[in-house]
Amino acid sequence: MPYLSSLLLIALAACGSSEPISPALSAYVSAQEALAADDFDKARAALQNLVQHADPALKSLVEIVANAEDITAVRAAFKPLSEEVIKGEIPEGLVLAYCPMADDDKGAHWIQKDQPQLMNPYFGATMLHCGVFKE
């Protein structure tokens, strides 16, 4: 968890919450939202922002995702990034979500804003609400 501690140290108010969220985690959530919206350009911009704020231990993984050539490649690379990000504490205002159908039915997690609807970054509009919130 040492590489994630820097994700959570620098405080920004997010999601109307009093809990802090770091610029890195904020950039991750922006990428998740862009992928759910099928917006490759916004996802890439958010991920390039994440490269700037990522802990050195995560930087190479983030760069792989940020440099993916298309939205399909970004989504594939987003899973290993998400698996590292979810190892840290999830601040209030954000939640853990899971889609069992992502990654060829192997399943994949992500973090998103705490809202009534699940917004799946792995499928976008194709299966936007596929998955469950985890505790």
pLDDT category at 19 given cuts 50, 70, 90 is low
Domain count, the chain: 1
Residue range of the domain that includes 43: 2-134
Residue 110, exposed/middle/buried by CB under 10 A (0-12, 13-18, 19+)?
buried
* pLDDT tens digits, one per residue of 36-89: 999 999 999 999 999 999 989 899 999 999 999 999 999 999 999 999 999 988
Point out the least confidently predicted range of 13-17, 46-50, 111-115, 116-120. 13-17
Residue 36, exposed/middle/buried by CB under 10 A (0-12, 13-18, 19+)?
buried
Q: Which two tokens stand for residue 105?
A: 């039915």
